[in-house]
Structure 1
C-alpha cells in the first residue's frame, strides 16, 4: 500500500494530544489530521497552547494533513454573518503555515429556513468570499460531503468548486452517504477529478439511524471507493475517521483507543486488496 498516504483524525482516537499521537504512531502511520485537543477546537486554542501542539506533533515526526474547521457546519447556518467563519479561517491559515499543511476542511451550510433559491445563492456567494480569503492566505479549502447545500449532490459539489475558485477542492468521506442518504460510490464517480482529501469510515442503517462499523463491514462501499480512487491515481491522504467510540462534534467521547486502532488495521487490510496503486 502507499503507506505515506495513511493518516487519522486525532480526536477520533482520544481527546488529549499525547493520546492522539500515541494512537497514530501505534499504527505506524505518518499523518495526523487535527480537529480538537481536549475538546477545544484547534482555532480556539490560545497561542501558547497551540505552540505546544505544534512542538508535540513535530517531535513525534508526524505530518499534518489537514485542519478541520467549523466553517459551514451545522452550528453555523448560512443566515449567520460571515464574521466567525472569516476569523476562523484567518486563525487556521496561520496555523496551517506553522504546521506545514495547506488544507482546511469546511462544509456548505444548513438553510435555516431559507427557500432553495436563496439558500443556493447565499452559499455560493459565501464560498466565493471564503475562496478569495483562502487565496490571500495561500491555503486550500476542502469541502466535505456532509451536511449543507452541497453535502450530498454531486452537481452541487461541482458548482461549489466553480464558486470557490482554485482554492476550493473536495474532501470525500466514503462513509457519509449512509447518514445522509446517498450512494457514496456513485457520487465519487461524478466528482473524482476534484477530490484532494479522503476520510474513511463505514456504517449500516440510514439517515438518522446510522451505526458505525469497521471499514468494510458496512454498506458504504468503502472498498469500492478505495479501489476507484487508487485506480485513478489518487495520491492524497486517506484519513481515518471511524466514529466508533469518539465523535467529538456530537459530544460523544470515549477513552479507549482500541476501536480506532482496529479500524486502522482494517483500513490497511482493505488497501492491500486494492488492485492498483498498492504494493
Structure 2
C-alpha cells in the first residue's frame, strides 16, 4: 500500500484532511483502523460499532475505543449520529432525541470529536410549515454545544425535511450560531427529490457555512438512484475537488461508501445505517472508493506541485 500512502501524503498538500466512516468498513474498530493506516488517512468518523449505535455502548467500551484510536495515531473527526431523524410533531420523540444529543455531546468530549452530525426531522411534506419549528429545535442545540465545546453539523438527506444544500443553508442561517453549521454531502443530492445538482449548486448553497464533508457518489436514473464508487457517478468530483483546493477548504473529507460490490443496501439501511448487516461487504467497497478517490487526489491532477 506504499503507493497509496504516497498519494495520501500528496493529498495533505491540498489542505483538507481525509477520513472514513468506520461502519462502512466493519463493525470491528480494528478493521477500520487497519484500513485507515493502509491508506494514510488521518481520521475516523464513528457511527455504529460492534453492532450498536455509539450512544448505546458502555462507558468503559467507549474509553477503550477512544484509547485504541489514539494509540493508532488517528483522530476521531466526527460522530455520525441519528439525532433528529424522528418526527417533529411528536413531543416525546423530539425530547428523546434532545437527550440523545446530550449523550453524543458527552461522547464528543470523550473522543475529542469536533463535530456531531444530525438531521432536520423526518419529512412531513410541507417544508415551509415545518421550517420555523425545525429552527426552534436547532436553537435548543446551541447551549448544549457551547457547554461541551463541539459543533452540530446539519446534513441534507432525502428522508428528512432539509433534502438539499439550499434547505440546510436556510436552517443554518436562521439559527445563526457558530455551533450549528452545515455538513456538505454532495452524493446525497443525487437522491434529492427536488433534484439539486451536487456541484456546483449544492456546494454554492453551503459555501461559507460548511465545516465538514462526506464523500459518496451515485448515478441518478429515471426510476432510482444507484450508489457507485467515488468519481464514477454524477457528483462531478474532479471539478469539486479542484474547487475545494482553489477555495482553500481545510476541513475533513470523510468517505461514506454507502454501497456494496456483491449486494445492494436496502432503502431502510440507507435511511438508518447501522449494525452488522449494514457493514457486510463494506471493506471491499470502501477500498474501491478510496482507490478511486486517491486517483482524483493525485497532485498533478490537482495542479499541486
Same fold per superposition (TM over 0.5)? yes
Q: Deviations over 1:89-111 (max 9, x none)?
A: 21111211121222100111124
Which residue of structure 1 aligns with residue 157 of structure 2? 146
Does the aligned pair in 2 maintain the 1:172–1:195 contact within 8 Å? yes
3-state DSSP of counterpart to 1:143: strand
Which residue of structure 1 aligns with residue 132 of structure 2? 121
Which residue of structure 2 aligns with residue 58 of structure 1? 70
Does the aligned pair in 2 maintain the 1:151–1:157 contact within 8 Å? no
3-state DSSP of counterpart to 1:252: helix
Question: For the residues of structure 1 that align with 2:34 and 2:18, how far apart are their CA atoms?
Answer: 15
Q: Deviations over 1:130-166 (max 9, x none)?
A: 1232122221011112132223151552333331512
State which of 175, 197, 219 in structure 2 corresponds to 1:183. Answer: 197
Question: For the residues of structure 2 that align with 1:206 and 1:72, how far apart are their CA atoms?
Answer: 29
Does the aligned pair in 1 maintain the 2:189–2:197 contact within 8 Å? yes
Which residue of structure 2 aligns with residue 45 of structure 1? 57
Q: Deviations over 1:212-246 (max 9, x none)?
A: 11111111212222222221010001100111227
Unaligned runs of 5+ in 2: 1-9
Question: For the residues of structure 2 that align with 1:263 and 1:77, how far apart are their CA atoms?
Answer: 33
3-state DSSP of counterpart to 1:175: helix
| Alignment partner of 1:97 is 2:126 | no
Larger mean CA deviation between 252-261 and 187-196 belongs to 252-261
Question: For the residues of structure 1 that align with 2:289 and 2:170, how far apart are their CA atoms?
Answer: 31
Question: For the residues of structure 2 that align with 1:111 and 1:9, how far apart are their CA atoms?
Answer: 25
Does the aligned pair in 2 maintain the 1:127–1:164 contact within 8 Å? no
Unaligned runs of 5+ in 1: none
3-state DSSP of counterpart to 1:166: coil
| Alignment partner of 1:137 is 2:153 | no
**Equivalence map 1:1-279=2 (5 Å):** 1-3=10-12, 5-73=17-85, 76-81=86-91, 82-112=94-124, 115-147=126-158, 148-154=160-166, 156-163=168-175, 165-180=177-192, 181-185=195-199, 186-206=201-221, 209-245=224-260, 249-250=272-273, 252-255=278-281, 257-272=283-298, 275=302, 278-279=304-305
- Could you tell me how far 1:191 is from its partner in structure 2? 1.7
Larger mean CA deviation between 252-261 and 42-51 belongs to 252-261
Structure 1 residues 111 and 58 mapped into 2: Cα distance closer, same or farther (>3 Å)? same
Question: For the residues of structure 2 that align with 1:58 and 1:31, how far apart are their CA atoms?
Answer: 10
Larger mean CA deviation between 244-253 and 175-184 belongs to 244-253
Structure 1 residues 23 and 207 mapped into 2: Cα distance closer, same or farther (>3 Å)? farther
Structure 1 residues 156 and 176 mapped into 2: Cα distance closer, same or farther (>3 Å)? closer
Question: For the residues of structure 1 that align with 2:144 and 2:27, how far apart are their CA atoms?
Answer: 30
Query: What TM-score do the two structures reach when normalised by structure 1?
Result: 0.90
